[in-house]
Amino acid sequence: MLHQVLHEIERATGPITIQELSQRLNLEPGVVADMVAFWVRKERLVTGADTAVPHHTAHCGGDCQGPAACHFVAKVPASFTVTKDVMR
């Protein structure tokens, strides 16, 4: 089952969320999250948070309090992609 999760992520045309994976594999999201966490620990996957994101302060004034307090930063579910340098 671990390899099926990895295979589904590899087949995706872009980042994929836990919800999408759980629907594709007909598994509970918590189970899928645990399997994804395994592949992240093995450095086969990276989370959306690990990928390059534009620095939001370029559009802020001098009173910027960071991304956690910013009203212009969208909160999106974590997504996962295959590590580019490790295609096994």
For the segment 50-75, what is each residue's pLDDT rounded down to a tens digit? 444 444 445 555 666 665 666 555 44
Partnered with residue 46 across adjacent β-strands are: 81
Distances (CA, A) of 42 to 3, 9, 50, 75: 13, 15, 15, 26
- 75 against 11, higher pLDDT: 11
Asked if residue 13 has pLDDT above 70, the reply is yes
pTM for this predicted structure: 0.59
What pLDDT digit, counting tens, does each position of 15-45 carry? 788 888 999 999 998 999 899 889 888 888 8
CA atoms within 13 A on the CB side of 35: 20
**Sequence spans of domains, the chain:** 2-52+62-82
Asked whether the beta carbons of 14 and 76 are under 8 A apart, the reply is: no
Element (H, E) at 39: helix 29-41
pLDDT given at position 62: 60
CATH of domain 2-52+62-82: 1.10.10
